[in-house]
Amino acid sequence: MSLPSPIPMRLAPLSLTRVVADIEAGRATPETVIREANERIDSLDGVIGAFVRRASADSIAAASAATGPLRGVPFGVKDIFDTFDMATEHGSPIYEGHQPLADAPLVAIARSLGAAILGKTATTEFASMDPAATRNPHDLAHTPGGSSSGSAAGIAAGMLAAACGSQTGGSVIRPASFCGIAGYKPSFRLLPTVGMKVFSWTLDTAGLFAAGVADVALLAECLSGRELTAPPLADASGLTIGLYRTAMDTGPQGRLDPAMAAAWETAAKALETAGAKLIDIPEPAALEAARDAHGTVQNFEAAQALLHERTMHRSRMGPQVLALLDEGAAVTPEAYDAGRRTARIGRKAAAALFDTCDALLAPSAFGPAPKGLATTGDPALNKLWTLTGNPCVNVPGLATAEGLPLGLTIVSRFGRDRTALSVARLLEDKIQAA
């Protein structure tokens, strides 16, 4: 079946910082912002498929009257987070119509700050690899990535100013890269995952999406209560940026698309021109081993976390998640424990990287969003930093000659999320100014 041509106005994301400033200054009202966002969803989501359900009129009315720093901000919730006023189905027919009694804490925090929860966004089944029906707003024939496909596409198309997602492998950074928006995977456990469907309890990480880095930093600061925003850096003087090189990038085993390699070089030169010192950091053996251990840890835990679904509803599960769970069921406790030991060694090696640099710069994906809706892309470049728990920010702004986004990742030391966000914002500013 042929797909529609790319939608009009696809490059008109809704800036969170602008929405907040306009409401605070009286240039807009929460009611107007929410109404216009809903009208945009009505107009565009029939072809994009970012939403799986919409908030009720009563919820919209309550959101329009809410107060707080995020009042009037159109907010999307990935459909693995519990919501008291909408069903939470985890992208699976097994949970059709499942209605939680309470919001997940992250959703409750957003709502308490005035955010307007406009709907539940599409996810792959149980945030795994079976694609949702969402399309990439930049080109409807391409995947938006996964598993946070709906949240990323909703931001890219300007239907939302903020959204939450999750990452167990690469489910925040990769869709952010494919959709040309800012994605933030914080340090492990900085944001609560209670009330989020568990896949892997030592890897599952709540993350955030917004149009640009300043937007996602403001969102993270509001939701976490931590000082994560800072005045824009004038330049990169005094910063040392490590170019993180792996065997997967270039060379005999290289898988990096030439366009992504060029984007990486462009981003590195932009930081160097701004005053940063660049150093090459070849991937240490301990971190290569940690990446390889990711699947063992993830799949073992997923097989236990979803044991009921796998045994009681096997025929209703998607083929990719089912294969992964079967693989995890075959992992022995001894192999799992060995994987955890490898992960611990990897976390120490990751910390040591920042003895010689302030942040790392790496590709967010092997290339632009793949064509076709049967895949969500490869998370191989993301899952290491999920395992180590380091904060990551996808920086948008570069693209292929055909206009498909190419994202770069800034990684910083565990707990130094403000550093990652500050360097990412500087890079985004320099890309935009070029």
pLDDT in tens, 195-237: 999 999 999 999 999 999 999 999 999 999 999 998 999 999 9
Token pair 């400033």 is found at: 21
Q: Which amino acid is at 1?
A: M
Confidence of residue 1 (pLDDT cuts 50, 70, 90): very low
Pairing of strands 116-121, 74-78: parallel
| 163 SS3 class | strand
Contacts of 385 (CB under 8 A, 6+ apart): 173, 185, 350, 392, 409, 411
Check residue 3 and give its pLDDT: 39
Exposed, middle or buried by CB within 10 Å (0-12, 13-18, 19+), for 316? middle
pLDDT of residue 251 exceeding 90, the answer is no
Q: Is the CB of residue 360 less than 8 Å from the CB of residue 281?
A: yes
Confidence of residue 253 (pLDDT cuts 50, 70, 90): confident
Domain 16-224 is found in CATH 3.90.1300.10: yes
Q: Is the CB of residue 164 less than 8 Å from the CB of residue 81?
A: yes
Q: Edge to edge, what strands does the sheet with 359-363 contain?
A: 51-54, 116-121, 74-78, 162-167, 205-210, 182-185, 392-399, 405-411, 359-363, 240-245, 277-282
Check residue 407 and give its pLDDT: 98
Give the HSE-up count for residue 434: Cα atoms under 13 Å, Cβ half-sphere.
17
Across the range 355-361, mean pLDDT stands at: 98
pLDDT of residue 175 exceeding 80, the answer is yes
Q: Is the CB of residue 148 less than 8 Å from the CB of residue 172?
A: yes
Strand partners of residue 165? 207
How much is the mean pLDDT over the chain? Answer: 96
Structure tokens at 25: 């200054």
Q: What are 101-128's pLDDT values in tens digits?
A: 999 999 999 999 999 999 999 999 999 9
Confidence of residue 138 (pLDDT cuts 50, 70, 90): very high
Across the range 48-53, mean pLDDT stands at: 98
Contacts of 191 (CB under 8 A, 6+ apart): 106, 205, 206, 207, 208, 220, 223, 224
Which comes out higher in pLDDT, residue 223 or 9? 223
Check residue 5 and give its pLDDT: 42
Check residue 11 and give its pLDDT: 53
Structure tokens at 106: 């992250």
Across the range 23-38, mean pLDDT stands at: 98
Q: How far is CA 418 from the centre of its chain?
A: 17
Largest CA distance in the chain: 61
Structure tokens at 326: 């079967």
pLDDT of residue 250 exceeding 80, the answer is no
Q: What are 374-432's pLDDT values in tens digits?
A: 999 999 999 999 999 999 999 999 999 999 999 999 999 999 999 999 999 999 999 99
The DSSP-derived string for 246-303 is -TTTSSTT----HHHHHHHHHHHHHHHHTTPEEEEEEPPHHHHHHHHHHHHHHHHHHH
Strand partners of residue 394? 183, 409
The residue ranges of DSSP E strands in 5-147, in sequence order, are 51-54, 74-78, 116-121
Pairing of strands 205-210, 240-245: unpaired
pLDDT of residue 2 exceeding 80, the answer is no
Pairing of strands 240-245, 392-399: unpaired
Tell me which H or E stretch contains 398.
strand 392-399
User: Using CA atoms, how far apart are residues 134 and 375, in angstroms rounded to an integer?
Assistant: 11
Q: What are 277-326's pLDDT values in tens digits?
A: 999 999 999 999 999 999 999 999 999 999 999 999 999 999 999 999 99
